[in-house]
């Protein structure tokens, strides 16, 4: 990387991105790599991650593919260990991996509820917990958690997802307080509709041409990741003009 990455916003910053195989996470990984970050690409689908890795390489960047399920403690621990072995440090963590199940509470399945919480909430917690010792030791770090506007406002037949994303917001704000003395910034982004593969098999999806683009979230994440450590921003809601939900 060396000379050619001089002047880039995230030059040599080691960044773990979960959910990097698709949509917002993929775009964040590519944007960060373009800005000089060494990106650890994580999600379950290895073939998709390898595609992103090739794209990173094509743009002159460096990456490490680590396929894991974020809800599995041992896999998360192994991923952080691999990142530290390869790059020696972790400067930024982006918790993007997420999923949902939808339906009325009256017949919502317990296993669906558990999966929504395991991926969105427990996955975020595990990834944060596992990178914290290295960040605390380094006396600096940046964590960006992707929640949703659904964590702030109700959507019908969306109870598990809304509750999980609200939990991500509450968790992030508590962690931000705990990390103040360690010079580690914790931000949470709450997007409204973003046009990603999330909606590929959803016939009820609203007009995708009116949604935000993944690059809108990636630019916001880049802004947060590049802030000087004196700046404290906890939560940002970003919605498409014309589809804002209040």
Ligand X SMILES: NC(=O)c1ccc[n+]([C@@H]2O[C@H](COP(=O)([O-])OP(=O)(O)OC[C@H]3O[C@@H](n4cnc5c(N)ncnc54)[C@H](OP(=O)(O)O)[C@@H]3O)[C@@H](O)[C@H]2O)c1
Is 161 in the active site? yes
Residue closest to 135 by CA, chosen among 167, 178, 171, 97: 178
By C-beta, is 179 or 189 nearer to ligand X?
A: 189
In what order do the strands lie in the sheet containing 141-146? 62-67, 38-43, 14-18, 92-95, 141-146, 184-191, 235-238
Residue closest to 31 by CA, chosen among 13, 45, 6: 13
Site stretch for ligand X (CB under 6 A), options 22-30, 85-93, 126-134, 231-239: 22-30
Nearest distance from C-beta of residue 229 to ligand X, angstroms: 26
Q: Which residues contact 32 (CB under 8 A, 6 or more apart)?
A: 10, 13, 15, 17, 39, 92, 94, 218, 221, 222, 225
Q: Residues 198, 220, 221, 224: which binds ligand X (CB under 6 A)?
A: 198
By C-beta, is 7 or 246 nearer to ligand X?
A: 246
DSSP one-letter code for 106: G
Q: How far apart are CA 124 and CA 130, in angstroms?
A: 10
Q: How far is CA 183 from the centre of its chain?
A: 20
Q: Residues 33, 97, 134, 188: which binds ligand X (CB under 6 A)?
A: 97
Nearest distance from C-beta of residue 42 to ligand X, angstroms: 7
* Residue 240 in contact with ligand X, rule: CB under 6 A: no
Could you tell me how many residues of this chain bind ligand X (CB under 6 A)? 27
From 161, 193, 199, 223, active-site residue: 161
> What binding mask, one character per residue, do residues 109-148 give for ligand X by CB under 6 A, x or -?
----------x--------------------------x-x
Residues with a known catalytic role: 161
Name the residues that contact ligand X, by CB under 6 A.
Answer: 18-19, 21-25, 43-45, 48, 69-71, 96-99, 119, 146, 148, 191, 193-194, 196-198
């Amino acid at each position: 990387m060396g000379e050619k990455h001089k002047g880039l916003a995230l030059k040599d910053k080691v960044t773990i991105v979960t959910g990097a195989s698709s949509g917002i996470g993929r775009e964040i990984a590519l944007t960060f790599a373009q800005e000089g970050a060494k990106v650890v690409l994580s999600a379950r689908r290895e073939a998709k991650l390898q595609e992103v890795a090739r794209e990173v390489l094509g743009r002159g960047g460096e990456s490490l593919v680590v396929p894991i399920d974020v809800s599995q403690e041992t896999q998360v621990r192994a991923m952080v260990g691999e990142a530290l072995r390869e790059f020696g440090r972790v400067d930024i963590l982006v918790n993007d991996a997420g999923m949902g199940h939808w339906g009325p509470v009256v017949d919502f399945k317990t296993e669906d509820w558990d999966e929504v919480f395991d991926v969105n909430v427990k996955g975020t917690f595990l990834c944060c917990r596992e990178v914290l010792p290295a960040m605390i030791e380094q006396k600096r770090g940046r964590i960006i958690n992707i929640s949703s506007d659904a964590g702030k406002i109700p959507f019908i037949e969306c109870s598990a997802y809304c509750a999980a994303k609200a939990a991500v917001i509450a968790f992030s704000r508590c962690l931000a307080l705990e990390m103040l003395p360690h010079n580690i910034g914790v931000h949470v982004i709450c997007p409204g509709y973003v046009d990603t593969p999330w909606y590929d098999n959803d016939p009820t999806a609203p007009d995708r041409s009116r949604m935000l683009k993944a690059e809108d979230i990636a630019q916001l994440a880049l802004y947060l990741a590049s802030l000087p450590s004196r700046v404290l921003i906890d939560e940002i809601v970003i919605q498409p003009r014309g589809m804002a939900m209040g």
